[in-house]
Chain A
Amino acid sequence: RKEVEQDPGPFNVPEGATVAFNCTYSNSASQSFFWYRQDCRKEPKLLMSVYSSGNEDGRFTAQLNRASQYISLLIRDSKLSDSATYLCVFTGGSYIPTFGRGTSLIVHP
């Protein structure tokens, strides 16, 4: 099993749709979880951390399922500007952060 697995997509959705991505991890010692957004040919930027109880930031909701070892990102009311690649990251106190390869999202009019 790969350390981090993400569906590469692309997820092609209309404006206003709700879309969700999952990211699974194999290292049960993972303690910290993040979602990053990367626009084409740009650097990754932190979108949000993922907390055990789940957390929300506007239209974005992140959740953690430790039992099944995955995190999810839900985007509501998709905007054209949400089109990007979304990267998940897992890390712990003593091991280096591990990035997924990313999920491509295309929001069309």
Chain B
Amino acid sequence: NAGVTQTPKFQVLKTGQSMTLQCAQDMNHNSMYWYRQDPGMGLRLIYYSASEGTTDKGEVPNGYNVSRLNKREFSLRLESAAPSQTSVYFCASSEAFNQPQHFGDGTRLSIL
């Protein structure tokens, strides 16, 4: 019953460093999503993948890239981390857009 698994759970980076957040789901879902959540801002969609082989920008894509490696995995990359990217990042998946999303337990990222 793993559901959506995110790694790492915590990370501290220095400005300018790069890193990749990993996300995998075992529910055979078609759609996957990356969100960031900041205090008072709610969930903001960074990128999404409607199905394997496709990715699209969400509301706040600048400074990020994604890869839908296969149906299970959807990674988020920060090429050159900035303090403004300090946030909690959630990955989610759903069978389709009109089905409920299942979330991972988040990655808490701090950039100094």
Contacts and interface: CB of A to CB of B under 8 A. Distances in A.
A43 B100 contact: no
B101 interface: yes
Contacts of B40: 101
B98 A46 contact: no
A95 B31 CA distance: 12
A22 B27 CA distance: 31
A45 B103 CA distance: 7
Contact of A99 (B43, B48, B88, B94): B43
Contacts, number: 50
A101 B42 contact: yes
A73 interface: no
Contacts of B48: 96
Interface in A89-109: 89, 91-97, 99-102
Interface string B31-58: 0010000001111010010000000001
A72 B45 CA distance: 24
Nearest to A6: B42
A87 B94 CA distance: 17
A46 B42 contact: no
A92 B98 contact: yes
Contacts of A34: 100
Contacts of A96: 33, 45, 48, 58, 97
